[in-house]
Amino acid sequence: MFGFHLDYYLCCVIAVSGLLFTATANRNSSAAVMPYYLGIILMLTAAILFFSTDNRIVNDYQGGLDANEQTVLFALSTLTALIIRKLFSAGKKIIRNNSN
Amino acid sequence: MQDFIYTIIDFDQRLFLAINSKVGTSSIIDSSARIIGSDYLVPVFLSLMLIFLWYKENSTLRRLKTRLTVLNSIFTLVVACLIVIMLNQILFRERPFNLIEANLIFYAPTDSSFPSNSVAAVVALTIPVLKTYRKIGCLMLWSSLCLAFCRIYVGIHFPGDVLGGILTALVSFFLSTLLMNLFSKQLYLLLLLVEKWKGLKIVRL
């Protein structure tokens, strides 16, 4: 898609966002199953997107990612997913306040 | 003693060839093994499981306990990586795809085959969770074992390397737990800080 590093980062952001949906649904233990399944679908989408768009079985000196790069990119993607989630919640709150 | 070692190495090679000789029988199995054995699918899945555990609990006490398990997983991973680096300095084993009969359907790594770095890492992430949370731990263990098997199947590790990786993870878990017990008070304080400090509000759900 956009280069190995960016692809990995974007797919991790999608996967972690999905996981956060699932974790919140699990934590609230409410009857709402929608966020739970949405989270699982997002995680699966991220994996399919990553492996279907390019050849990912590459050595780290031939364009793949080494362990350090993977760790840093995964941590960054987790942080990004958390920020997106916060922005999403804030947006929802504003819309709810405006409608009231 | 030398004869015993040669017998084990010979058995290891024969077991590898028995598994690896199935390559080419089904393209679907081959592609699945390449994806499962890759550096991305299982490690990311295990990391996601750790994040899930981090945010799983509602009550503060249980949350602290879960987060200690996650920290133990991370420490075990770091110790396992250090042990693998040290072992690679003193011994080098050729990769199995250098055998004439082997089939390679993966990229060709250049570092030592023994112990399996990736297996050591994923099992290191799994063991502390398995000790505390059986269901999630079993799920993580199965995915780690799938990765281990796939790496033999695609031709980049001997079964002995995988076993070495698992042993490395077990030793590192033991060392990491010792370290965690030594610094348990400080770790609790650190986790409480993460829990209460307003500056870290962004990392809370």
The complex's ipTM works out to 0.93
- Provide the pLDDT for residue A31: 60
- Provide the pLDDT for residue B152: 96
* pLDDT > 90? residue B2: no
Q: Chain B contacts of A24, Cβ < 8 Å?
A: 55, 205
B35 lies within 8 A of chain A by CB: yes
* pLDDT > 80? residue B202: no
What are the tens digits of pLDDT across the range A52-85?
998 999 988 888 899 999 999 999 999 999 999 9
Mean pLDDT on B134-160? 96
Per-residue DSSP letter, B1: -
The CA distance from B165 to B127, in Å, is 13
Q: Phi, psi at residue B100, to the nearest 5°? A: -60, -40
What are the tens digits of pLDDT across the range B95-106?
999 887 889 999
Mean pLDDT on B159-171? 97
A15-19, B69-73, B107-111, B125-129: range with lowest mean pLDDT? B107-111
CB contact under 8 A, B56 and A15: no
Q: Chain B contacts of A86, Cβ < 8 Å?
A: 202
Nearest residue on chain B to A29, alpha-carbon basis: B58
Structure tokens belonging to residue B12:
């290891």
Cα angle for residues A24, A10, A86 (degrees, 5° grid): 35
The CA distance from A85 to A17, in Å, is 7
Cα angle for residues B12, B15, B18 (degrees, 5° grid): 150
pTM of the model: 0.93
What are the tens digits of pLDDT across the range B18-46?
999 999 999 999 999 999 999 999 999 99
Instruction: Please give, rounded to a whole number of angstroms, the shortest distance from the CA of B39 to a CA of chain A.
Output: 8
Query: Which among B43, B47, B106 has CB closest to A57?
Result: B106
pLDDT band at B156 (very low <50, low <70, confident <90, very high): very high
User: How many CB atoms are closer than 10 A to CB A62?
Assistant: 8
A16 lies within 8 A of chain B by CB: yes
* pLDDT > 90? residue A98: no
* pLDDT > 90? residue B56: no
CB-side exposure of B169: number of CA atoms within 13 Å? 27
